[in-house]
Structure 1
Amino acid sequence: MSDREDQDAQPRKRMRLSTPDTGEQAAVTVSTPAEPADRSPKTTATYAQESQLEKEIRAGITAYVNPHAPGFTGILKQRYTDFLVNEILPSGQVLHLESLDVPQQTQNTDRRKAAETESTGPVEQPTKPGTDSEAVSENGNGDAQPIGAEGPEKNGAEQSPEITLEDTQLLHSLFGETTTTAITALYRQVLGKPGRKPRDLPSVKSDAFADKEQRTSAHQTIRRIFCSRLETTTENDGTFVISAAPPRDRGRRGGGRNQPGTRGKGKLGWDELGGEYLHFTLYKENKDTMEVIYYIASQLKYATKHFGFAGTKDRRAVTVQRVSVHRARAEELARIAKNLRAGSKIGDYKYEPRGLELGDLAGNEFVITLRDCRVPGDEAAATREHAWNVLNNAVASFKTGGYINYYGLQRFGSFATSTDAIGVKLLQSDLKSAIDLILDYSPAALAAAQDTSSEELISHDDKARAEALHIWRTTSDASAALAILPRKFAAESNIIKHLGFKDRKGQLIRRTDYQGALQAVPRNLRLMYVHAYQSLVWNNVAGRRWERFGQEVVEGDLVLVHEHRDKEEGHGEEEEVDQAGEVIIRPAVHDQAGSRHDEFARARPLSKQDAESGKYTVFDVVLPLPGWDVEYPPNEIGGFYKEFMASERGGRLDPNDMRRKWKDVSLSGGYRKLLGRPGKVEFEVKEYEKEEEQMVETDWERLVKRKESEVFHSNEISKAAEQIMEVDTEGEGKPREKKIAVVLKMQLASSQYATMALRELMKAGNVQTYKPDFGSGR
Structure 2
Amino acid sequence: MLPSFSYVTHHVGFCGTIKNSPSDFVVTEIEVPEQLQGVTRAEALQRTGEVLLEHSSPCLQQPRKLRVDPLALPAEACPAGASRPAEGDPSWAGGGCSASPNKNHHEGEPDLKPGLKENNALDSLLGKSMSDLLNKFACDLKDAWDLESTADSSTREFSLGPIPDKKTRADLHSAVRQKFPFLVTATKDSEMIVKGNADYRELCQLVTEKETSDFFKFLDAKLENSTFSFEPDGNKEHRKIVHHFISRKFGKLLETKSFTVTDVNDQPNMSIVVRFREKRWSRKRSAGGFQEKQDVYTAFTLQKENLETLEAISLLAAELGVLPSDFSYTGIKDKKAISYQPMVVKKVTPERLKEIGSKMENKGMRIHNIRLACQHLKLGQLKGNHFDIVVRDLKHHSHDDSSADLKKRISEAIENVETKGFVNYYGPQRFGQGQNVQTDQIGLALLNEKMVKAVKLFFTPEDTDDPVNDAKRYFLQTEDAKGALGMLPEFKVREKMLLRALHRYGVNHEGCTKGWLNIPHSMRIFYVHAYCSKIWNEAASYRLQIYGSKVVEGDLVFSEHDESFFLNDKVHVVTAPEESANKYSINQVVLPMVGHSIKYPSNKVGQWYHERLSKDELQMCKFRVSPLQLNIPGCYRPILKNIQNVSYFLQSNEEGIGIEDNYLNESKVSLHISFDLDPSCYATVCLREVMKCDL
* Aligned mates of 2:23, 2:367 — CA distance in 1: 18
Alignment of 1:184-583 (within 5 A): 203=113, 235=177, 236=180, 246-247=223-224, 259-265=279-285, 276-342=296-362, 343-375=364-396, 386-415=405-434, 416-442=436-462, 444-445=463-464, 458-466=465-473, 468-470=474-476, 473-474=477-478, 476-501=479-504, 513-560=511-558, 563=560, 577-578=562-563
**CA–CA separation in structure 2 for the residues paired with 1:244 and 1:77:** 56
Do the aligned residues in 2 keep the contact of 1:604 with 1:631 (CA within 8 Å)?
no
Q: 1:532 to 1:463 in 2, by over 3 A?
A: same
1:223-273: CA deviations, max 9, x gaps?
xxxxxxxx9786358599999863479xxxxx99995423444699xxxxx
Structure 1 counterpart of 2:393, one-letter code:
D
Cross-structure match for 1:755: 684
Shift of 1:527: 1.8
Superposed CA offset, 1:610-641 (max 9, x none): 23334321111111122332111111111111
Change (3 A) 1:761 1:500: same
Shift of 1:554: 0.7
Give the Cα separation in 2 of the matches to 1:463 and 1:329: 40
Which TM-score applies when normalising by structure 1? 0.56
Distance in 2 (CA, whole Å) between partners of 1:618 and 1:631 is 19
Kindly provide the amino acid, as one letter, of the partner of residue 684 in structure 2.
T
Query: Secondary structure, in 3 states, of the residue corresponding to 1:646?
Result: helix
1:83 aligned residue: 25
2: CA distance, partners of 1:300 / 1:662: 29
- What letter is aligned with 1:639? Q
Q: 1:326 to 1:525 in 2, by over 3 A?
A: closer
In structure 1, the residue matched to 2:675 is 746
Q: Deviations over 1:171-210 (max 9, x none)?
A: 99999xxxxxxxxxxxxxxxxxxxx9896766487968x9
- Residue 365 of structure 1 aligns with an amino acid whose one-letter code is H
Structure 2 counterpart SS, 1:340: helix
Aligned length: 502
TM-score computed with the length of structure 2 as normaliser: 0.62
Query: What is the one-letter code of the residue matched to 1:758?
Result: L
Deviation at 1:604, TM superposition (A): 2.7
Q: Mark the CA change 1:339 to 1:435 in structure 2 (over 3 Å): closer, same or farther.
A: closer
Task: Please give the secondary structure, in 1, of the residue aligned with 2:361.
Answer: coil
Shift of 1:646: 3.0
SS of the aligned residue for 1:339 comes to helix
Q: Verify the 8 A CA contact 1:560 1:601 in the aligned structure 2.
A: no
Q: Supply the RMSD in Å over aligned alpha carbons.
A: 4.7
Q: CA deviation at 1:763?
A: 0.6
**What's the CA shift string for 1:313-368, capped at 9, x where partnerless?**
11221111111122433233223213332553222223221111222212111111
Contact 1:260–1:326 (8 Å) recurs in 2: no
- Structure 2 distance, partners of 1:522, 1:233, is 34
Q: Is the 8 A contact 2:325 2:521 kept in 1?
A: no
Per-residue Cα deviation, 1:471-491 (whole angstroms, up to 9, x for no partner): xx33x4332222213344455
Distance 1:233 1:380, change over 3 A: farther
After superposition, residues 91-170 of structure 1 pair within 5 angstroms as: 91=33
Cα offsets for 1:32-53 (capped at 9, x unmatched): xxxxxxxxxxxxxxxxxxxxxx
CA shift digits 1:144-191 (9 cap, x unpaired): xxxxxxxxxxxxxxxxx997598699999999xxxxxxxxxxxxxxxx
- CA distance in 1 between partners of 2:389 and 2:593 (Å): 30
CA contact (8 A) 1:501 1:509 kept: no
CA distance in 2, matches of 1:170, 1:547: 41
What is the DSSP-based 3-state SS (H/G/I as helix, E as strand, rest coil) of the residue aligned with 2:360? coil
| CA spacing shift, 1:378–1:539, aligned 2, 3 Å | closer
Counterpart residue number, 2:591: 623
> Is the partner of 2:681 in helix, strand or coil?
coil
Q: Distance in 1 between matches of 2:581 and 2:47?
A: 48
Name 1:65's counterpart in structure 2: 8
Aligned AA (2:422): Y
- 2:637 corresponds in structure 1 to 672
Relative to its length, the structure with more strand (as a share) is: 2
Q: Secondary structure at the match of 1:362?
A: strand
Return the alpha-carbon distance in structure 2 between the equivalents of residues 166 and 267 of structure 1.
21
Sort the Cα spacing of 1:170 and 1:348 in 2 relative to 1 into closer, same or farther, 3 A: closer
What corresponds to 1:654 in structure 2? 619
> Which residue matches 2:137?
none
2:210 aligned partner: none
Residue 606 (str. 1) matches residue 606 (str. 2): no
Q: Residues 399 and 512 from structure 1, CA distance in 2 versus in 1: closer, same or farther, beyond 3 angstroms?
A: same
Q: Aligned residue for 1:56?
A: 2
| Contact 1:422–1:529 (Cα < 8 Å) also in 2 | yes
Question: Does structure 2 retain, via aligned residues, the 8 Å contact 1:441–1:469?
Answer: no
1:309 and 1:323 in contact (8 A); partners too: yes
Q: In structure 1, what is the Cα distance between the partners aligned to 2:375 and 2:475? A: 42
- Equivalent residue number for residue 642 of structure 1: 610
Deviation, structure 1 residue 275: 9.2
* Equivalent-residue separation in structure 2 for 1:216 and 1:81 (angstroms): 56
Find the aligned partners of 1:605 and 1:289 in 2 and give their Cα distance.
Answer: 37
Report the CA distance shift for 1:234/1:528 in structure 2 as closer, same or farther (over 3 A): farther
Distance in 1 (CA, whole Å) between partners of 2:47 and 2:686 is: 47
Q: Distance in 1 between matches of 2:52 and 2:353?
A: 39
**Distance apart, 1:758 and its partner CA:** 0.7
In structure 2, distance between residues paired with 1:174 and 1:482? 38
Distance 1:164 1:659, change over 3 A: closer
405-414 or 328-337: which moved more?
Answer: 328-337
Q: Is the contact between residue 257 and residue 301 of structure 1 (CA under 8 Å) also seen in structure 2? A: no
Task: Supply the AA of the counterpart residue of 1:755.
Answer: T
* Residue matched to 1:74: 16
Provide the identity percentage. 27
Unmatched segments (≥5 aa) in structure 2? 55-105, 127-157, 187-191, 193-216, 227-274, 289-293, 658-665
Change in 2 beyond 3 A, CA 1:340/1:412: closer
Q: Tell me the CA shift for residue 402 of structure 1.
A: 0.9
Assess, with a 3 A threshold, how the Cα gap between structure 1 residues 555 and 232 changes in structure 2: closer, same or farther. same
CA distance in 2, matches of 1:549, 1:198: 70
1:662, CA displacement in angstroms?
4.4
Question: What's the CA shift for 1:382?
Answer: 11
